[in-house]
Amino acid sequence: METVLANYGIRLHRLDGEYLRGRCPLPAHTSKSSRQSFIVNAQKNAWACHSDSCVAARGGRIGGNVLDFVSAMENCSIREAALKLQNSFVVILPLPPSIARSRDPSAESSPSAVISENRPLSFALRRIDHSHPYLAERGLDIETIQHFGIGYNRGSGSMAGRIVIPIQDENGFLVAYASRSADQAEPRYRFPPRFRKSLVLFNLHRAVAAAGKSIIVVEGFFDCFKVHQAGLPCVVALMGCSLSLRQEELLCELFREVVLLLDGDRAGRAAAAAIAQRLVPRVSTRIVAVPGGSQPDQLGADQIRCLCIPGYF
């Protein structure tokens, strides 16, 4: 139930470990005075709205299960609700205990484990259109688009109608989706509320698989896509212009050289200098100056290779 609420972009207040409460999101709810009538039991995956108008619109039914909720939200039958859920999510089985323990040996005993990592998602979005024209407008070819699994989300929820970008951790587990507006609508980028990007370097698991000793660090997703498309697969994105302690540890543990290819504006140059100051005592570090105040995703493939590969002509 919580997963479906999140998919619709619905946020409720948590009363305790299992109960959530807030404004009723159902289209049938017309009362302006019933502000906290919607209650969810997360443990039982059940919900209820006690507003008279809402109950009357549903033929006297106070609440129901996940399928009832989707049916009420979409004004469709239970069967159609089940099909909509099937089209929106792919159920992934829980990790075997042996694998889960190998990822974090202290996970069972540490009370802070819940907030110290981004847990793997139990679903994956399905209705992703890889042929949306926005991606071609940003200079991406179909091989790059499919390699990263990005595309236009034709499903429902808070990321519907936006470009979605799967984010994996260093072990390749899907931990979140970021989304980008396909027009000028704000916010341009959106992250899940519980996702901690400071714990992740975007594309790290692919960069490690490429077995390179040098890693190129960029700021944003599309910078990463364009560098990869230029034939340089050892690239990661900070998803911002700051380097967290966790990201620093990952870079220093896994690579011998860090090439900073941050934006060429004043903020990007300042960020590159600050990051390099931290990395230089620990790992070979090189700053690449992007010309003209531009961004790496605005450069051509030859320009990117010229900047990042010493002696390239």
Buried b (16+ CB within 10 A) or exposed e, 241-253: bebbebbbebbee
CATH 3.90.580.10 in the chain: give the residue spans. Answer: 2-88
For the domain 204-308, what is the CATH code?
A: 3.40.1360.10
Strand order in the sheet with 151-153: 128-129, 151-153, 162-168, 174-181, 189-190
Query: What is the CATH T-level fold of the domain 2-88, as seen in this structure?
Result: DNA Primase; Chain A (3.90.580)
Is the separation of the CB atoms in 78 and 64 below 8 Å?
no
Task: Show pLDDT as tens, one digit a residue, over the chain (313 residues).
Answer: 887 887 777 888 888 778 888 888 888 888 777 778 888 988 888 999 888 888 888 888 888 999 989 888 888 888 888 877 765 554 444 444 444 444 444 433 343 334 468 999 988 998 899 999 999 999 999 999 999 999 999 988 888 999 999 999 999 999 999 999 998 888 899 999 889 999 999 999 999 999 889 999 999 999 999 999 999 999 999 999 999 999 999 999 999 999 999 999 988 999 999 999 999 999 999 999 898 889 999 999 999 999 998 866 5
* pTM, two decimal places: 0.65
Angle, alpha carbons 205-7-151 (nearest 5°): 50
pLDDT at 231: 96
CA dist., res. 132 & res. 128, Å (int): 9
CATH 3.90.980.10 in the chain: give the residue spans. Answer: 129-195
Tally DSSP H helices, then E strands, for the chain.
Answer: 12, 14
Is the separation of the CB atoms in 140 and 146 below 8 Å?
no
CA dist., res. 135 & res. 108, Å (int): 42
**252: helix, strand or coil:** helix
Is the separation of the CB atoms in 203 and 240 below 8 Å?
no
CATH 3.40.1360.10 in the chain: give the residue spans. Answer: 204-308
CA dist., res. 123 & res. 308, Å (int): 37
pLDDT at 259: 96
Inter-axis angle of helices 301-308 and 221-229, nearest 10: 90
CA dist., res. 269 & res. 272, Å (int): 5
pLDDT at 92: 41
Amino acid identity of residue 188, one-letter, is: R
Q: How many residues does the chain have?
A: 313
pLDDT at 98: 44
| CATH superfamily label, 129-195 | DNA primase, catalytic core, N-terminal domain (3.90.980.10)
Nearest Cα neighbor of 39 from 85, 252, 55 is 55
Strand order in the sheet with 284-287: 235-237, 214-218, 257-260, 284-287
Alpha helix stretches (DSSP H) within 217-293: 221-229, 245-254, 266-279
